[in-house]
Structure 1
Amino acid sequence: MPQLKAKSLEMRTPQATKTAVLVIGGAEDKVHGREILRTFFARAGASDAYITIIPSASREPSIIGERYIRIFEEMGAKKIELLDIREREQCEYRDYQTSLESCTGVFFTGGDQLRLCGVLADTPAMEIIRKRVRAGQLTLAGTSAGAAVMGHHMIAGGGSGESPNRSLVDMATGLGLIPEVIVDQHFHNRNRMGRLISAISSHPDRLGIGIDEDTCALFERDGWLQVIGKGAVTIVDPTEVTHTNEPHVGASEPLTIHNLRLHILGHGDCFHLYQRTVLPAVYRLSS
């Protein structure tokens, strides 16, 4: 029995050779340990990594793109390309599509999630990324705005520090790479619990994922999410909600939600996206 248990736990422990989707809360460490960026680098193939950086969310895409190029060069990536996509027409470029068909890792930088979606959504380039992620051929990471776009429903903006109400959050359509979730980033750092709960109250069939700065929710293909980094990942699970006044109140009136389930996960903790179960870090076997 102990051997079976150990094997089961080992299967849940991420291996460096597996592809994954890394959803980063922003302000990840780029100078010291670089733990999150190193994890992306390892999952993208380490010294064999061919990394494509897409800085389309940024107002200064070439500047932010060059910063990540230097980081991954220092780590020893085999090849790095910057796809400075500023117009939807560029997603038709054959050389850009070839890069996305050949690379082992794609990195979305921060900036404005609406700008990123406006450029990439429903384009041939995005379809290549989606298909390769689903086939387990590509490791994908997005930080800040690049994290916000991961769900089908996307938090495009809104307020903070208020009790949940519908006017607190502006929703839009994301890129749908992990359609089951609604992601909010810079989470506790910018006091965004109210707006994530507000978003989930309107979309109770989704799972809320709030990610702190320098923190990553790493999604495995088998449904497990693992936390990496210095902050927390907050899971807002509406599966067992028994009542909400959301359909019946005005946009600025306080929302009531009963029996909402909440998990605060730290480094090494795991959560299963479909089973809705938690595996504390203490039970993980060292790799």
Structure 2
Amino acid sequence: MLQLDPQSQSCGSAMLQPTKPAIMIIGGAEDKVHGREILRTFFNRSGGPEAHIAIIPSASREPNLTGGRYVSIFEDMGAKSVQMLDIREREQTNDPYWQRATEECTGVFLTGGDQLRLCALLADTALIDTVRLRAQMGQITLAGTSAGAAIMGHHMIAGGGSGESPNRALVDMATGLSIVPELIVDQHFHNRNRMARLMSAVSMYADLLGIGIDEDTCAMVEQGGGLQVLGKGTVTVIDPSDMTHTNEPIVGSTDPLSLHSLKIHILCHGDRYHLHKRALL
């Protein structure tokens, strides 16, 4: 879990340092053509012209196409090196070449695709253990978009529906990669009407925070637990810590859920929130 440090307990200059490593949780469909604000932030936080970036496109069924696009983007920005870790079988994670790449890089980017596929390939491997530890210690910048965002928590939204009242059958849960274990992340959030889905997930794990991230939007988590929003959309925070009642344990899987006294924040570009204090900055 991310540890607090003295510089990050307030909304001071630590959150504004462009090269300070962070964990970037991106809602998907980030701008890859024009301003590229989110991708450029990842590039800068990874070291800018001195960045050594590893792209992991394992969530995608077309990893060469998906990963190759990000390789071109970060090479165009001027990264010192960009490698694509084209991992399609779990056994490949034991390759010393890939392990060395994750030990020496300054930034790791997880692409979109299928979060279940990504976890099936990487969960409980030495490679992802290295990435997780280095990201949590603030040694690298780790970014994940779409499926690469969904895997950030310990409990992961693997799929589900939309357009209904909250109910248990609306969301399928699985185990993620525990990068930021206190979160349940949903992506393409308002774009795909997923508020009820995230509420349904939070009802099952009321000790965790639900984070819903719109497309072309990023929830950037600093080492100390501060979160800052970047991009064109919003980040929705669902905090159940003051919830006084839910019928989740006693109703059927398709019955509507009651959730009393949920706390909800809608954050836009520049807004800040502290994950551990569960408070706006």
TM-score by length of 1: 0.94
Q: What is the aligned partner in structure 1 of residue 103 from structure 2?
A: 101
The Cα of 1:12 is off from its aligned counterpart by 5.2
Which residue identity is paired with 1:98? Answer: R
Unaligned runs of 5+ in 2: 1-8
Q: CA deviation at 1:14?
A: 2.6
Which residue identity does 1:188 align to in structure 2? H
Contact 1:91–1:125, Cα closer than 8 Å, also in 2: yes
The percent of aligned pairs where both chains have the same amino acid is 65
Alignment correspondent of 1:231: 233
Paired residues for 1:57-136 under 5 Å = 57-136=59-138
What are the superposed Cα offsets for residues 184-236 of structure 1, whole Å, 9 maximum, x if unpaired? 00000000000000000000010000000000000001110000000000000
Contact 1:14 1:220 in 2 (8 A): no
Paired with 1:83 and 1:9, the residues of 2 have a C-alpha distance of: 36
Q: How far does the alpha carbon of each residue in 1:236-284 deviate from its partner, in whole angstroms, 9 at most, with x for none?
A: 00000000000010000000000000000000000000111113xxxxx
Match of 2:5 in 1: none
Which residue identity is paired with 1:112? D
Q: What is the rounded CA distance, in whole Å, between the counterparts of 1:183 and 1:145 in structure 2?
A: 10
The CA deviation at 1:130 is 1.3
Displacement of 1:136 in angstroms is 1.3
After TM superposition, where is structure 1 displaced by more than 2 Å over at least 4 residues in a row? 7-14
**Equivalent residue for 1:53?**
55
For residue 8 of structure 1, report the CA deviation from its aligned partner: 5.2
Of 196, 205, 208, which aligns to 2:207? 205
Residue in 1 that maps onto 2:143: 141
CA distance in 1 between counterparts of 2:137 and 2:185 reads 23
Conserved? CA contact 1:22–1:141, under 8 Å: yes
**Structure 1 position 83, deviation (Å):** 0.3
1:181 corresponds in structure 2 to: 183
What SS does the corresponding residue of 1:246 show, helix, strand or coil?
coil
| Aligned partner of 1:262 among 258, 261, 264 | 264
2: CA distance between counterparts of 1:12 and 1:205?
Answer: 28
Map Cα deviations across residues 144-187 of structure 1 (whole Å, 9 max, x no partner).
00000000000000000111000000000000000000000000
Pick from 9, 26, 29 the counterpart of residue 27 of structure 1: 29
How far residue 120 of structure 1 moved from its aligned partner, in angstroms, is 0.3
Aligned to 2:152: 150
Aligned residues: 273
Determine the structure 2 residue equivalent to 1:217. Answer: 219
Q: Residues 12-38 of structure 1, C-alpha deviation per residue, up to 9 Å, x if partnerless?
A: 533112110000000000000000000
Contact 2:237 2:264 in 1 (8 A): yes
Name the Cα RMSD after superposition: 1.0
Aligned residues of 2:137 and 2:223 also touching (Cα < 8 A)? no
- Counterpart secondary structure, 2:28: coil
Q: Which residue of 2 aligns with 1:249?
A: 251
In structure 1, runs of 5+ residues without a counterpart are: 1-6, 280-287
- CA gap of 1:191–1:183, structure 2 versus 1, over 3 A, is same
The answer to whether the 8 A contact 2:49-2:80 is kept is yes
Q: Secondary structure at the match of 2:29?
A: coil
Q: What corresponds to 1:39 in structure 2?
A: 41
Corresponding residue number in structure 2 for 1:165:
167
TM-score (norm 2): 0.96
Distance 2:196 2:269 in 1: 23
